[in-house]
C-alpha cells in the first residue's frame, strides 16, 4: 500500500512534502504530468528516502487519468494535492486569456473534485488540498485564482462530510519560494523582500513550512473540514 499519494509531488511544496514523509519511512507516490520532472524528483528523493518512492503520470484535470490512477493504486492512506495549472492566470481580468482561467478552474477546483470522486473507496485516512492567500487578498491581478481557491475551500467542507470518516482539509499557503514564481516574469527577489518586511513572520515561506503544515493535519485524527493558514500572518496585513 502507498502511504501517501501526492498530486504535484515533483516540485515545490509537494516535493518538500514527499521528502518529509519519505524521511519518516512512508512509501510515497508522486504524481504530475511531466515524466522528466517526475524522474528528476525521484532521483533527488531517493538520496534521503527511508521509504519507497514511486512515480505516476496523470493530469489532475483529466477525468479518465484520475480514475485510472486510483483504480491502479488500490488502497492509499493519505492523499495530498498541490497540483494546479496557474499558467497565465495572473493579470487584470480583461487581459487574462479565457483558456488560462479555464485551466486553473479545471485543475484547482474540478481536479480536486475529481480526486474526491475517485479517491472514495481507496483512501483510508485523509485528503488534503492546497488553496492560497489569494482567496483572502484580492489585489487586482489574481481574481480568477482567488475564486478557484475560495471554491476549493467550500468543496473541501462538503467532501469532509461526504467522505467521512476520511478527513478532508485544506492548507492555505502565503507566498512561498517555489518554481511556480518563475513563470510570472516578475522581479521575485524584490517582491519577496518587500512582502517579508510587512509580514508578521518577517520572511517568505519555504516549501518545508508548507510540508510541515500538511503533516500536522494529515496526522491529527481530530482535524477535518478545516483550512489551515500557513501564510506568515499575511491575512492580517
Ligand atoms: N508558491 C506560492 O507562493 C503559492 C502561494 C499560495 C498558493 N500556492 C498554491 O500551492 C500549490 C503548489 O504550488 P507550488 O508553488 O508548489 O507549485 P510548483 O512548484 O509549480 O509545483 C506544481 C506541481 O504540480 C504539478 N502539476 C501542475 N499542473 C498539474 C496537472 N494539471 N496535473 C497534475 N500535476 C500538475 C507540477 O508538475 P507538472 O507540471 O509536471 O505536471 C508540479 O509537480 C498550487 O496549487 C499553488 O496555486 C502557491
User: What is the pLDDT of the chain when averaged over all its residues?
Assistant: 96
Helices marked H in the chain: 12-23, 35-46, 63-73, 98-104, 110-119, 143-162, 188-198, 207-219
pLDDT number for residue 64: 98
54 by Cβ neighbours in 10 Å (0-12 / 13-18 / 19+) ranks as middle
Indicate the top mutation candidate among 109, 145, 178 to test ligand 1's pocket, ranked by most ligand atoms within 8 A of CB: 178
What is the number of the ligand 1 atom nearest to the C-alpha of 10?
43
Among protein residues, the one with the nearest Cα to ligand 1's atom 6 is 132
Measured in Å, residue 141 CA sits from the centre of ligand 1 at 19
pLDDT number for residue 198: 97
**pLDDT tens across 177-233, in order?**
999 998 777 889 999 999 999 999 999 999 999 999 999 999 999 999 999 999 999
pLDDT number for residue 1: 60
pLDDT number for residue 202: 98
Complete domains list, the chain, with CATH: 2-236 (3.40.50.720)
The helix (H) or strand (E) run that includes residue 31 is strand 28-32
pLDDT number for residue 184: 77
What's the CA gap between 128 and 69, in Å, rounded? 17
**pLDDT tens across 79-107, in order?**
999 999 999 999 999 999 999 999 999 99
Amino acid at each position: 500500500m502507498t502511504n501517501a499519494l501526492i498530486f504535484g509531488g515533483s516540485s515545490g511544496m509537494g516535493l518538500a512534502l514527499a521528502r518529509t514523509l519519505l524521511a519518516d519511512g512512508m512509501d510515497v507516490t508522486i504524481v504530475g504530468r511531466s515524466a522528466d520532472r517526475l524522474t528528476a524528483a525521484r532521483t533527488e528523493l531517493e538520496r534521503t528516502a527511508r521509504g519507497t518512492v514511486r512515480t505516476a503520470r496523470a493530469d489532475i484535470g483529466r477525468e479518465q487519468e484520475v480514475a485510472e490512477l486510483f483504480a491502479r493504486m488500490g488502497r492509499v492512506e493519505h492523499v495530498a494535492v498541490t497540483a494546479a495549472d496557474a499558467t497565465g492566470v495572473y493579470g487584470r481580468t480583461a487581459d487574462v486569456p479565457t483558456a488560462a482561467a479555464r485551466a486553473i478552474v479545471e485543475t484547482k477546483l474540478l481536479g480536486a473534485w475529481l480526486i474526491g470522486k475517485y479517491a472514495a473507496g481507496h483512501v483510508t485516512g485523509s485528503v488534503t488540498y492546497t488553496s492560497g492567500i489569494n482567496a483572502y487578498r484580492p489585489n487586482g491581478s489574481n481574481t480568477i485564482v482567488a475564486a478557484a481557491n475560495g471554491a476549493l475551500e467550500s468543496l473541501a467542507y462538503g467532501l469532509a462530510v461526504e467522505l467521512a470518516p476520511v478527513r478532508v482539509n485544506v492548507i492555505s499557503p502565503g507566498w512561498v519560494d517555489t518554481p511556480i514564481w518563475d513563470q510570472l516574469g516578475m522581479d521575485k527577489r524584490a517582491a519577496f523582500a518587500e512582502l517579508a518586511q510587512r509580514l508578521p513572520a518577517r520572511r517568505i515561506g519555504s516549501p518545508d513550512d508548507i510540508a510541515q503544515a500538511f503533516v500536522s493535519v494529515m496526522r491529527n485524527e481530530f482535524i477535518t473540514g478545516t483550512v489551515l493558514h500557513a501564510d506568515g500572518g499575511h491575512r492580517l496585513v
